[in-house]
Structure 1
Amino acid sequence: MVAILAAGGLVWRELQEPTAQASENKPAAPGPDVQLRSAEVDRVLIRRAKAVLAKDSTAFVADIDPADKELLAEQRILFDNLVQFGFSRLSYHQKREQFDQTLIERHGPTTYAVQVVMIYQIKGINRLPVRTLVGYVFVQRPDGKWVITDDDDLDRALPRGSHHEAWDVGPVLVQRAPRVLIVVERGQTELAANLLTEASSAVRTVTKRWPGGWIGAGVVIAVDDPIVRGADYSVERNAEDALAMATWVYRTLPGEVTTEGERADSYVVVNPRNRGRLDTRSLAHEFIHVAAARYGAHAPRWLVEGVATYVEYLPMAGERDLALDAYRAMVRTKYLAKAKALPADSTFFARSSSSYPLSWLAADYLFSKHGPTEVATLYQELAALGFSQNARDRIMLEHVGVTEVGLFRALRNQPNT
């Protein structure tokens, strides 16, 4: 695979043999031995993975350009971060070469820029291996050795949400409890301890409340960087309002098997501005998203957020009970009376002040009328197969006897209590 630069962007095409005419008119330009280079780079990647698993910092930085002291320091921080996560499996594999003339001008004619798939499994956290992307720039030294000279110049070309992991953001502290992993800035021991307590309680709640039980784990990333994984708290609305968001973890990356990628799990990334507001209830909300991440991406947003909010508001050990009867009456009077339909996917977050209460009311109705097992089955099928309104209507009718329009009508026809 090779890339060409076109109109300021990167264009990919399969590597082709030169045409007969081109080879007759122009001698072939000397270039690298591609197979030898690939084999040498593979060996570098294998050594890096083995070094993390063996906790060998010297081996991890052995293939870094020794002239780049700043990169060496950054890589030592990265190594310290990676070791803390406790990988039971780790490997790196070349995915795609990327051509960028500016990188050649910066690093020289031997520059080899390549997207790399990182496959990993955190002990006690990931039930199966998952994937993320990194981008490395290699150069060949005069002695023939290939070394890494950059590890972030390709970030702008990597798909959003499939790179820039918690271990990439500077020195971190990782703390664990059964089925819980917390990531904070190094030195933030009190914050880590508080989050560990709240997250552990939230994991127990979701395990108890999610129909059929949830056997997954809660990963909470609460660092200063506003952009981690798929979370972007530099966006004004997110920065002010959001507490946290569940970001997808991939079994196969977007474009490998499906356009969207196959989801295996989800990690919760906390808004740096709102870390002090996080509690067991808000984490239980996010862990419902984590529990449901593997089902798919096609459930209507009102159901996704409604179910999470429903569980968040239930009686919870160590938390004061909420006045749900009064809240239900307020939602019906303040929001349902003015609404014309269930919250739409396209405007859900733009109208969040009404979308969340209405979604909770719809979930509350479904759980009360049909029970948690049927609601969970409905959720799973909609998440996997709710590609269109027709599909959603068919699935809704099959499981709860009404379409989304019918559900909204049922909510409006309920007597006020």
Structure 2
Amino acid sequence: MPTDADRAGARHARARHSSAKRERRVWPLLLSLALVAAAVGGGLALHRSTSGDLDASTAAADEAAGVRARDQAARAAGVDQVLARRAQAVRANKVDQFLADVDAGNQKLVDRQRTLFANLRQFGFASLRYERLQEQYDQALTDKYGPSTYVVAVAMTYQIRGIDRVPARTMLGYTFTQRDNGRWMLVADTDLDRRLPRGSHQEPWDVGQVLVKRAPRVLVVVEKSQGKLATSLVAKASRAVRAVSGSWPGGWTGSGVVIALDDKVVRGADYTLPKNAEDALAMATWVYRTLPGEVNGVGERTDSYVVVNPRNRAKVDSRILAHEFTHVATAAYGAYAPRWLVEGAATYVEYLPMAGASDLALDTYREKVRTSYLAKAKALPSDATFFQNSDRSYPLSWLAVDYLFQRFGGTEVGTLYRELAALGTSQAARDRIMLEHVGITEAGLFRALQAAAAT
């Protein structure tokens, strides 16, 4: 019969495996955001469109330019009216108004937009508006839809009631044409999809009929027919939210969003990639206050939503969601914390005692990490190789954060995390921040772990 230590060891083996696979999920997200600058530089203009793009003196001197400027202003004004009506229709629950500006001759588009409306209504937006960004010229689309074709990137600014602390922004692309009566109509809603930045597009309301279920500080999105799964995930997410709130230094007052759809590409998660598809469980994907390309290349983060791998959603439990919600709790701090701290902190919270979950034999696990991983290591896991060696990176990262909590306390660890995430842009900056808060550098922390293991 297995002993408690045996069961604890098995539990830790599974936890390390799932954590490691989870972070193999995050790597494509980081890659996609690193490529955002290339997407923006490739011709997708994200800055706001204005009617004053042409120099006034040139417009006065060049009659043709003046005509183009007036035409652009008229087109922009017409599309702005359409976008305003659509947002108002969602807020007021008026589906006919939402569909009134959709090309009635394209039944697939009408059906897709009707589904979109039904989905949007379920999320319970405290605020919602659409903002026209820069026109995206495409001769092929002009040839397809006619000379009045107006292809435009659109920012959707929203705030889900009881979930989002501040308004968030996401992107979509619309194609409009002007009818003989002068009215602008939506004729396509996917023409720009391939050019939009990954991670700030393809929201859960965009990918088919969904079911949204809520609890305090929890929102779960599943396929329309998956009510039983939604109920299960709401219970698990609620326990995980309470666990992170009670464990993270200073508390966490945010919310947990769990997206568990059949679609393999949602937000920044891509489960079509081989490294993600088989064993990945869930991924915390960034939510933006400003879009990639608006203020900087990668955008400004405000929060994070968790996207579950459709292949493995039955394996998701409260501890796994606590790991991901720790990423959610720290998402707004910044992007520069060392990977060992990011993943070590999430794993630390995941392994703590949690209501509804069996306690883990952490003393046994700590000793195992020291003998099996620390003894063979030469330094803390580096950002560059973390995921290449994830089987040992996660245990060592957990050990480092466990040491910091025991030696310096949660308040200091929380402050250290915030400063490293916001300002740790180089090794010199990281060392300076570490010395200021805990009196040791990353190299010094590794030596401290070795010394503790030797006692």
Between the aligned partners of 2:427 and 2:127, the Cα distance in structure 1 is 41
CA distance in 1, matches of 2:187, 2:66: 25
Residue deviations 1:300-352, cap 9 Å, x none? 01000000000100111111111111211111121111111111111211211
TM-score w.r.t. length of structure 2:
0.86
Aligned counterpart, 1:276: 314
SS, match of residue 96 in structure 1: strand
- Provide the secondary structure at the position in 2 that maps to 1:315: coil
Query: Once the 2 structures are TM-superposed, how far is the Cα of residue 16 of structure 1 from its aligned partner?
Result: 4.3
* Structure 1 stretches lacking a partner, 5+ long: 1-8
Q: Which residue matches 1:288?
A: 326
Alignment-derived partner of residue 34 in structure 2: none
Contact 1:183 1:223 in 2 (8 A): yes
Alignment of 1:5-404 (within 5 A): 10=43, 15-16=53-54, 33-404=71-442
Of stretches 191-200 and 154-163 in structure 1, the one that deviates more from structure 2 is 154-163
Is 1:411 aligned to residue 444 of structure 2? no
Give the Cα–Cα distance (whole angstroms) in 2 for the partners of residues 145 and 311 of structure 1: 55
How many Å separate the matches in 2 of 1:416 and 1:233?
A: 42
CA distance in 2, matches of 1:27, 1:154: 29
Return closer, same or farther for 1:113/1:27 CA change in 2, 3 Å cut-off.
closer
| CA deviation after TM superposition for structure 1 residue 19, in Å | 10
Alignment deviations for residues 167-195 of structure 1 (CA, whole Å, 9 cap, x no partner): 01110000000000000011100100000
Rounded to whole Å, the distance in 2 between the matches of 1:97 and 1:42 is: 12
Q: Secondary structure at the match of 1:321?
A: coil
2: CA distance, partners of 1:180 / 1:76: 26
**8 A contact 2:370–2:453 mirrored in 1:** no
Q: Percent identity?
A: 63
CA distances 1:212-254 after superposition (whole Å, capped 9, x unpaired)? 1111100000001111111111111111232111111111112
| Secondary structure, aligned partner of 2:199 | coil
Q: Helix, strand or coil for the counterpart of 1:398?
A: helix
Separation in 2, partners of 1:29, 1:94: 22
Contact 1:305 1:356 in 2 (8 A): yes
Distance 1:37 1:47, change over 3 A: same
| SS of residue in 1 equivalent to 2:384 | helix
1:409 Cα shift? 1.1
* Helix, strand or coil at the partner of 1:58: helix
C-alpha displacement at 1:413, in angstroms? 1.9
Distance in 2, matches of 1:108 and 1:311, equals 57
Structure 2, unpaired ranges of 5+: 1-41
Judging changes above 3 Å, is the alpha-carbon distance between structure 1 residues 415 and 335 closer, same or farther for their aligned structure 2 residues? closer
Contact 2:103–2:186 (CA under 8 A) maintained in structure 1? yes
Structure 1, residues 10-53: CA drift from partner, whole Å, max 9, x if none? 37699446998xx88x9779757111111111110000001111
Q: TM-score w.r.t. structure 1 length? A: 0.93
Does the residue aligned with 1:198 lie in a helix, a strand or coil? helix
- Higher share in helix: 2
